[in-house]
Amino acid sequence: MTDERERMDVLYNVLTGGEDDTKVEIDTHKLQSMTYILCASLCANVVLLVLVACLVAIRYM
């Protein structure tokens, strides 16, 4: 599979006369950090929602 991909890259370079500028480099560390921040934010929102629900339930008891 990798061999075929390399051959396709070489063919692309020969036909276009340049490198493939459509490739996207993904910084996995940054992506992982953003995922952790998103999950932490969602968890905090759920905790706050449960806390508010408990306070409302206690108030109307």
pLDDT, one tens digit per residue, over 32-53 is 999 999 999 999 999 999 999 9
In-domain check, residue 5: no
- pLDDT for the residue numbered 21: 65
Question: Above 70 in pLDDT, residue 19?
Answer: no
- pLDDT for the residue numbered 34: 94
Domain residues for the domain of 50 are: 23-61
- pLDDT for the residue numbered 1: 62
In-domain check, residue 8: no
pTM of model > 0.95: no
In-domain check, residue 9: no
**Domain count of the fold of the chain:** 1
Q: Centre a 10 Å sphere on the Cβ of residue 12 and count the other Cβ atoms it contains.
A: 14
- pLDDT for the residue numbered 20: 60
Q: Is there a contact between 9 and 20 (Cβ–Cβ < 8 Å)?
A: yes
In-domain check, residue 13: no
- pLDDT for the residue numbered 4: 83
Q: Centre a 10 Å sphere on the Cβ of residue 7 and count the other Cβ atoms it contains.
A: 10
5: tokens are: 């991909």
